[in-house]
Amino acid sequence: MILAPLPREVLIWTIARLLEGVRHVAVGAASPMPAAGSMLRRALDESRTELRLSILGSVANNFFTNGSTELFDCAGQGRLDAFFLGGGQIDGEANVNLVGVGGYPQSRVRWPGSFGSAYLYFTVPRVILFREEHTPRVMVEKVDFISAPGTSPAGVHRPGGPAALLTSKALFRFDRDRPGFTLESLHPGCGLADLLAATGFAFQHDDDPPVTPAPDGATLALLRGRVLDELEETYPAFAADWRRDLAAAQPAA
């Protein structure tokens, strides 16, 4: 008997689907689910092509020897296809705030800072916005500070930008021309009314949105076997929690 997918497994499978066709994906710090989704994509594609992973903090899955310097060079040369970006705030135009809440520089809440987010947002063609928390304090009408802009004025050279937004509640696609988000699917257990109440920005949606597809049995086997084992090297605590959730979900003997 195969256990039903856990919520985190639906998210990881969705990330893998968003990475279809990429050749090189980079994952930043503290990003276990994007890392797992990238590993799953590699496992699914290995008979057809070689997907190169660059996972910050990993020894087995990082071929760089000079850290972010090489990563930024790679992105600037057009040799990085996908990247993940989160934020303390994300708004309806895909602007990201990594600095803090309130008027800068007197922000009443401070976050780590923008680092290379704006540069990668401009150079990587498929940026996936990922933030597990989906509440009005995170998904806001307008960010308090723009660390990385979702769009740029006409005439600005920008090969990169947002492709999708994935949260614990839903998957959105981003239209750079409009600009704005369109609801692609609701995750199992989330209704449209719940999503609207949790989102501070407006987005386009069908009256009866589809449900995010769940991984099939073969994909779940890959996730709970090879991917979970590979993930443990970089994210042992996350892997241990995942294993505990699986054990707790086992039916009683």
Digit-coded pLDDT (tens) for 158-169: 999 999 999 999
Domain interval for residue 18: 7-243
- Whether 64 has a pLDDT exceeding 90, the answer reads no
- pLDDT tens for 91-145 read 999 999 999 999 888 899 999 899 899 999 999 999 999 999 999 999 999 999 9
Q: Is residue 17 assigned to a domain?
A: yes
pLDDT band (50, 70, 90) for residue 1: low
Q: Is residue 61 assigned to a domain?
A: yes
pLDDT band (50, 70, 90) for residue 252: low
What confidence score (pLDDT) does residue 146 get?
96
- Name the nearest CA neighbour of 248 among 54, 1, 3: 3
Q: Is residue 232 assigned to a domain?
A: yes
Q: Is residue 251 assigned to a domain?
A: no
What confidence score (pLDDT) does residue 49 get?
78
- Split into its structural domains, the chain has a count of 1
Q: Is residue 253 assigned to a domain?
A: no
Q: Is residue 248 assigned to a domain?
A: no
What confidence score (pLDDT) does residue 229 get?
98
What confidence score (pLDDT) does residue 55 get?
92
Q: Is residue 2 assigned to a domain?
A: no
CB-based burial of residue 178 (10 Å sphere; 0-12 exposed, 13-18 middle, 19+ buried)? exposed
Q: Is residue 249 assigned to a domain?
A: no
- Average pLDDT value for residue range 217-245: 97
CATH number of the domain that 111 lies in? 3.40.1080.10
- pLDDT tens for 184-209 read 999 999 999 999 999 999 999 999 99
Distance CA 76, CA 189 (A): 40
Distance CA 160, CA 1 (A): 43
- pLDDT tens for 9-53 read 999 999 999 999 999 999 988 899 999 999 999 999 987 778 999
